[in-house]
Amino acid sequence: MLTEETEHQHIRLLPQVLANQIAAGEVVERPASVLKELIENAIDAGASFIKIELEQAGSSVIRVIDNGKGIPKEELHLALNRHATSKITNLEDLEKIQTLGFRGEALASIASVSRFSLTSKPKDQEIAWQVKAKGSNMDTMLTPSNLPEGTQVEVLDLFYNTPARRKFLKAERTELGHLELCVKRLALSTFNVGFRLTHNGKEILSLNPANSMAQKEHRIKKVCSEAFIQSAWYIDTNIADMKLSGWLAAPTFSRSQNDLQYFYVNGRLVRDKIINHAIKQAFKDVLYQGRHPAFVLFFNLDPTKVDVNVHPTKHEIRFRESRQVHDFVFRIINQTLADIRPEGVIEKIQESELAQDFSQPQSFVQTPINMVDDYISPTTSLNNEYTDTIKPFNPSYTKEPETDYKTEEGYHQHITDKTQLERSNDQKIPPLGYAIAQLKGIYILAENEKGLIIVDMHAAHERILYEQLKKTFHTAIQNKTIPNTQSLLVPYTISLEPELIEAVEKHHTTLNQLGFSIEVIGPNAIAVRAIPAMLQNSDIICLVTAMLEDFSCMERSDKIEARINQILATISCHTAVRANEKLSVEEMNLILRQIEQTERGGQCNHGRPTWIYRSLKELDSLFKRGQ
């Protein structure tokens, strides 16, 4: 109950600086968020080079200097006003926004929580002018200054007047990591701009403007690591007004964290649920459990079809036609992964070998998963990932004459005693070469023109079968037909748990559709009377049991079609050659030829690599030949 004594709180306007500090709460969380706003402004101003100087991880100095178009003297004071922007004038502008900034509040917010100065000189202005904000109304003070064409923003003692915020700053190393990541994120989307980043006077990143493809890939290598660019496939596809381009790492280069995922929508880095889902879906059966894909991708679409004004830091967006976007991204990535073939992979390895120093053991595109996993710490050099070096012998030794397997003639001479390779005298040697042996009943060893191929025969066969099954069954389901079946003269009788019997009854139609004829012949028993013809050589009891287990795990609500791939994966795993199965040379060669033709052939259904390649050059270096 209100009494006379209740103190009345008058409504009053907040002092300008306080209002700005409150707004700063949204955008200025830490030094890296300041840096992001300043670099974005420099990019929006058309700069071709941006210099960033930091001290004490940005808490004492953040200085950004650009050579962009600058701010005229008479507008300088406005730049510090909240809601002052040169980038939009009306709502329609916002709907087709092309610049990174548009809210007009970054500089005002930053200025309210630091000792701030803005210096600028447009091309046709004689001298530079500097503006600073003072007092609780943030009155501006203009002074003449010294600066070549462009703009310099200096942010000193960030959060000096908001101690609560300052307390939340993390250790210098952490903040520096965020700052560096911020520069990298922006550098990946603006290739035409050069960047130089220093910390306490020491250079940590230097990137020249990149215009050609080679220069762009060089930047990617510097920012994302050499291993990434070596296993990355370039995409560039557009359909109607949507375009996806950039670099996608093959699934065999995956990471334990999602830290190498850069997705830009109209030049803006975002994390978006729709996009994430589309990518995850595309990587579904090529990625090892718990692993994350790596990519630097640029998605461009009509700006009116995306709402960027959803979040103050603009990390979130909203698509107007999200279904379309999802399908587009999924389709392109899925197809790119499906199309990766040994031929291309080996070509890439050879290309990168040309540029390699072979005094160190290398790991390449087809590499055991854990070898490419080292987290690239933002503050360590990006280029020395493989530091367990074997020191090269003194190079002053006279070099051994190089083995002549590099020329076609030399190669054929080199392999004359290899019967399997003789047939290739008049035809091109296939990418995965020809089998020479089976190792321990697990691996196929093969040689091609330039080196050794090792194939995990079960993993490879599993992928081959899986892709065949998918094709057969999805076509059958689409055409409402049943794949070729094989009736069994003597049906298999299998005794099963009640849940599995129930699964037979519940999924009878689907089983028929898949080409199985299975009948319940007792409370604990079924009879398998027919199977899909292509499975006739498999262990039917194991296979049917595993398949029914899959069925019985499904929720009632699960759409069978959506889960069919899982069933097919189980089938292929159970049908593929097992360890210790002796394979003839012909059978091994068949697996090699099939893997070359199979979509997503580089990894099994569980994302393990199916084959790896070691070039003679690399083997030579291991044996110190020619060094």
Q: Residues with Cβ < 8 Å from 394, sequence gap 6 or more?
A: none
Using an 8 Å Cβ cutoff, are 243 and 237 in contact?
A: yes
Of the candidates 93, 90, 98, 45, which has an alpha carbon nearest to the alpha carbon of residue 72? 45
Q: Which of 57, 106, 453, 460 binds Mg ion (CB under 5 A)?
A: 106
Using an 8 Å Cβ cutoff, are 113 and 145 in contact?
A: no
Of the candidates 165, 119, 122, which has an alpha carbon nearest to the alpha carbon of residue 140? 119
Could you give phi then psi for residue 595, rounded to 5 degrees? Answer: -65, -35
Handedness of CA 214, 216, 219, 224 (dihedral sign): negative
- Interaction with Mg ion in 213-232: which residues (CB under 5 A)? none
79 binds, among ligand ADP, Mg ion, none (CB under 5 to 8 A by kind): ligand ADP
Task: Name the residue nearer to Mg ion (CB basis): 101 or 251.
Answer: 101
Q: Residues with Cβ < 8 Å from 378, sequence gap 6 or more?
A: 176, 177, 180, 181, 184
- Single out the segment in contact with ligand ADP by CB under 6 A; choices: 79-87, 310-318, 446-454, 530-538: 79-87
Count of other CB atoms within 10 angstroms of residue 294? 26
Residue with structure tokens 């604990």?
A: 524
Of the candidates 550, 583, 544, 337, which has an alpha carbon nearest to the alpha carbon of residue 458? 583
Q: With binding defined as CB under 6 A, does residue 107 bind ligand ADP?
A: yes
Of the candidates 600, 320, 279, which has an alpha carbon nearest to the alpha carbon of residue 460? 600
Task: Compose the 15-54 pattern: x for residues touching ligand ADP by CB under 6 A, - for all others.
Answer: ----------------------x---xx--x---------
Q: With binding defined as CB under 6 A, does residue 314 bind ligand ADP?
A: no
Q: With binding defined as CB under 6 A, does residue 66 bind ligand ADP?
A: yes
544 binds, among ligand ADP, Mg ion, none (CB under 5 to 8 A by kind): none
- Single out the segment in contact with ligand ADP by CB under 6 A; choices: 82-90, 247-255, 282-290, 611-619: 82-90
Q: With binding defined as CB under 5 A, does residue 41 bind Mg ion?
A: yes
Of the candidates 276, 52, 44, 26, which has an alpha carbon nearest to the alpha carbon of residue 182? 52
356 binds, among Mg ion, ligand ADP, none (CB under 5 to 8 A by kind): none
Task: Name the residue nearer to Mg ion (CB basis): 101 or 378.
Answer: 101
195 binds, among ligand ADP, Mg ion, none (CB under 5 to 8 A by kind): none
Shortest Cβ contact with Mg ion: which residue?
A: 101
Find the shortest distance in angstroms from Cβ 302 to ligand ADP.
22
Q: With binding defined as CB under 6 A, does residue 101 bind ligand ADP?
A: yes
The H or E element spanning position 78 is: helix 76-79
- Interaction with ligand ADP in 129-188: which residues (CB under 6 A)? 151
What tokens appear for 455 in the block? 């194939």
Q: With binding defined as CB under 5 A, does residue 150 bind Mg ion?
A: no
Find the shortest distance in angstroms from Cβ 60 to ligand ADP.
21
Q: Which of 31, 58, 70, 101 binds Mg ion (CB under 5 A)?
A: 101
Of the candidates 338, 308, 351, 608, which has an alpha carbon nearest to the alpha carbon of residue 458? 608
Residue with structure tokens 């975002």?
A: 270
Binding site for ligand ADP (CB under 6 A): 37, 41-42, 45, 66, 68-71, 79, 84-87, 101-107, 151
